[in-house]
Amino acid sequence: MELIVSGIPVEIYKKRIKNMHLYVKPPDGKVTVSAPLAVSDEAIARFVVTKIGWIKIQIRRFDEQPRQSMREYVSGETIYVWGRQYYIRTEYGNKNSLVLSGDKAILTVRRESTAAQRESFIREWYRRQLKAEIERLLPKWERITGLQCASWQTKYMTTRWGTCNAAARKIWLNLQLAKKTPECLEYIIVHELMHFIEQCHNERFMALMDTYMAMWREVKSTLNGQTLDYME
Ligand SMILES: [Zn+2]
């Protein structure tokens, strides 16, 4: 579950613990609170407010850390598509395209294009890949779970893989999922669908995940071991 405190999203995990713990995690300075099961959301929000100065300092520290350098999208660089690595071979032409062939990603761009223009073309290419997979996998998981999603969107995000509005039954999926294995996308789809019935990451939530996806913990740890980077 997520609370917004002073404009900052705070991820809440309720557990069988005695005290509240607050974390600001790398790489993006994501704010997380672990709280005992009995503590109300209001009490958690009040707790976070008392720490807001410290949180902002931590987030700023992460922001100032060097990120992965921006790519040029030239031959020799690599990109990931559905968990597989491809070596970019840049060719020049009038029409942008990206074609996967063996372990090569043949990127055709205008010779004078900037890194930012190539980046934006590739981002939209990932979006098409992701949309096609969502159209294949979401109906499958809706059928299995019996939960219907009213609408979904792909979104470029740097701090989370997916998010949802449970009341509106709407899901947002991170564009960067097209770089990971299809299982990662399936895990995030199931995770967000489960939030339609349980908003917290509590024991009930985990039991629901276990019911539908036996391997979800493994997939989650793979996903969390990889940074959600800004220009991967
Ligand atoms: Zn969640």
Encoding tokens for residue 82? 């559905």
DSSP SS3 for 87: strand
List, for residues 173-201, the tens digit of each pLDDT value: 999 999 999 999 999 999 999 999 999 99
Distance of CA 22 from the midpoint of ligand 1 (Å) = 17
List, for residues 4-38, the tens digit of each pLDDT value: 888 888 889 999 998 888 888 766 678 889 999 99
- Kindly tell me the sign of the dihedral angle through the C-alpha atoms of 182, 183, 184, 185: positive
* 78, 88 Cβ separation under 8 angstroms: yes
Distance of CA 192 from the midpoint of ligand 1 (Å) = 6
Domains and CATH numbers, the chain: 2-64 (no CATH), 114-224 (3.30.2010.10)
Kindly report the backbone phi and psi dihedral angles of residue 135, in degrees, each rounded to the nearest multiple of 5, phi listed first: -60, -25
- Kindly tell me the sign of the dihedral angle through the C-alpha atoms of 34, 37, 38, 42: positive
pTM of the prediction? 0.70
